[in-house]
Amino acid sequence: MTMPAQDFSLLAHTVASIVTRGSLAFSGFYFGRQFQKLKNTLLAGEWYILGVSASVGIIVALDPAKPIVWLWDYFDAFSRLLGVPLIATIGLMAVTHQVRLSKWQEVILFAASLIAALLFYTLDITAPIREPVYLVTCLGFGVYVFTLVRHVFLADRKWEAWMLLAALALYFYITPLDHYYFLPNTDAAILLNDDAVAHVGWAFLYAAIFFAYRAIAAVDASVRGHTTACASVSGRAD
């Protein structure tokens, strides 16, 4: 007994959605844990939220009628509006500008951002401006991450720098997807459709950001260690 073509196409799309959204879930949870080990709570927290969001997206792929789709949309709105553009940017500034918030400041930032995103997502008055705002905030984050490439090159970590550049190129391409233009034949394509390409692209970028961050942090730690050693030697000489 053969499966009807329509049923096979639906199954293939569902499997593709699970795999591609799963790639973002893995990137969020795994690299969120790695950021946690590096004691960057802001990046760890946002990466975990990305992982949760993608995991909810997998559930939605299995059953689009589930009420949990609202939660998926909310987490997506949060990450596009404030999670990635604001929280992740401040988290990355720990290595680019030596900016670190206190634990209470981090808690307040997350709480305020979650509430602000909820209001922005639910209030009718924001509906006409949501998509343009998401586009601006996401592109703004991309511009900031582009400046991160310079720091990685200065750290003489070319592999991480080129990886980040490749991820950024894909990110700038997929950011307007589904809102301002679409991939050709996106409704019929199993892998080369808007949803699949976007999730894989995001997973790639958030992984590349971790490797870039770790490279810069390692060089900074080495410099601080060298400075401390020189100061210690100088003190003994005096």
Q: Which residues have a Cβ under 8 Å from the Cβ of 135 and sit 6 or more positions away?
A: 175, 176, 179, 180
pLDDT, tens digit (0-9, with 9 covering 90-100), for 171-191:
999 998 766 766 666 666 667
pLDDT, tens digit (0-9, with 9 covering 90-100), for 63-75:
887 789 999 999 9
Distances (CA, A) of 22 to 34, 46, 207, 216: 18, 17, 14, 28
pLDDT, tens digit (0-9, with 9 covering 90-100), for 178-228:
667 666 666 666 677 888 999 999 999 999 999 999 999 998 776 555 444
Structure tokens at 79: 């990450």
- Which parts of 122-199 are beta strand (E)? none
pLDDT at 220: 78
pTM: 0.90
pLDDT, tens digit (0-9, with 9 covering 90-100), for 127-164:
999 999 999 999 999 999 999 999 999 999 999 999 99
Contact 218, 211 (CB under 8 A): no
List the one residue out of 58, 12, 54, 10 whose CA is nearest residue 29. 54
